[in-house]
Every structure is written in C-alpha cells, then in structure tokens.
Amino acid sequence: MTVEEFIQALNEKGIQLTEQQINQFEQYYHLLVEWNNKINLTAITEKPDVYLKHFYDSLMPLWMAPDYFKQNATLCDVGAGAGFPSIPMKIVRPDLDITIVDSLNKRITFLNLLAEELNLTGVKAVHGRAEEVGQDKAHREQFDIVTARAVAALNVLSELCLPLAKKGGYFIALKAQRADEEIVKAKKAIATLGAKFEEQISEMLPIEDSEREILVIRKTLETPKKYPRRPGKPAKQPL
C-alpha cells in the first residue's frame, strides 16, 4: 500500500487526512525503521507493508466499530509494542486520551520519543506487566476502551485487559483470523471477569485480501479483586 493508496483508502472510509497527519505517519514510519535497528519492534519494515499491515490495520476499528470510540474517550492499549493500534488511532483521532502499557522499557522509551517527535499530547506510556498495571488503582477500571492487537489468545487477553476497563466500558481485541474457537474458549473467562461478549465484526484487509476481525466485549460488572492474577499466571493457566 503506497502512501497515496493509504490516503485514498482512508478517504473512502470517511477519514480525510490533513497534511499534518500525513506527515505524522511518514515520520512514524521513519522513526519505526530507525529504532527497529536498535531494538526489536517489528518484523515488518518495508514501507508498503507498514502502511498496510500496521497503519491501516490499526485504524480499522474506527470505521468497523465507530460507536465505541466516543469523543474524548480514554483508551488503554495493552502490549502495544511499537504503538499499534493506539498511535495510528491517536494521529487520526487527536481527541482520544491514550495510555499504552508495555513490559519492555526500551519500547516505552521509543513510544515516549515517538509521541514527542509527532507532537502528540494526551499519550502516556506505562512500563509494566499488564497483570501488575491491572491491579494498580491508578489504572484499574479507569478506561472507556481497552485494546490489544495480536497479543495472545482471547481467554488470556481477557484477564489482562478487562480489569483495566471501567464498568460500562469495552475491551476491543484486534485479530488477524477467524476467532470463533477463541470466543468459545474465552466464554468462562469473560463472565468471570465481569463482562459479556458484545459482537464480532469482520472485514478484509485490502490489497492482500486477508481477514481481520474485531471482537467487542462489554464490561458489565466490576472485576473481582483477585484478577488479574500474578504475572505469567493468566498465560500458563487461562481461566
């Protein structure tokens, strides 16, 4: 996907990028490649692939599930790595208040620099395991939206993400394939953590025609205090 194709594709989805936003994506790409030589951020570094598989892909929830992204919503992105999906969303939706959680301090350093270089305000990077951040009163049940992109299976992700969502908020998981089996396996975890499965939305990624799915889970009750469990436990012993 060329830059021109990216701009046109977003335009067709009702997103008209300003010159500043176009420049921010360009700057994002160059910083990503530069820092990828220092720390492992992504295996995808070719420009057309970054624009399609990282930038465009990250933005898909904004038009696939627009009703969940209210004006000035607080969003927590768990395990964002190089900033996906939250930083592309922030570029397009400056009103969003973004908190990014990542366990590797080098990635936090990159994210802080990225926000500064792109002149993005309302972006906070938190160094820590999701299990620990989810037990921190400063972050627990504080967010309208919690996102995660290709981090883990849904039953594991639910325990990492749902404790961060406020009651009435949403956990939105971005998946790269059909997730029917994951949804079935995560049913118990979702209920245990005080949530309900809301909907499953699919759309094809252009050019390569591969499927993308968004799974929306609504937080209906407060999460029991014992969740999330200690670091590593959700992955080793999923609910």
Annotated binding site for S-adenosyl-L-methionine: 79, 84, 130-131, 149
Q: What is the 3-state secondary structure (H, E, C) of the chain?
A: CCHHHHHHHHHHCCCCCCHHHHHHHHHHHHHHHHHHCCCCCCCCCCHHHHHHHHHHHHHHHHHHCHHHCCCCCEEEEECCCCCCCHHHHHHHCCCCEEEEEECCHHHHHHHHHHHHHCCCCCEEEEECCHHHHCCCCCCCCCEEEEEEECCCCHHHHHHHHHHHEEEEEEEEEEECCCCHHHHHHHHHHHHHCCEEEEEEEEEEECCCCEEEEEEEEEECCCCCCCCCCCCCHHHHCCC
Tell me the binding residues: 79, 84, 130-131, 149
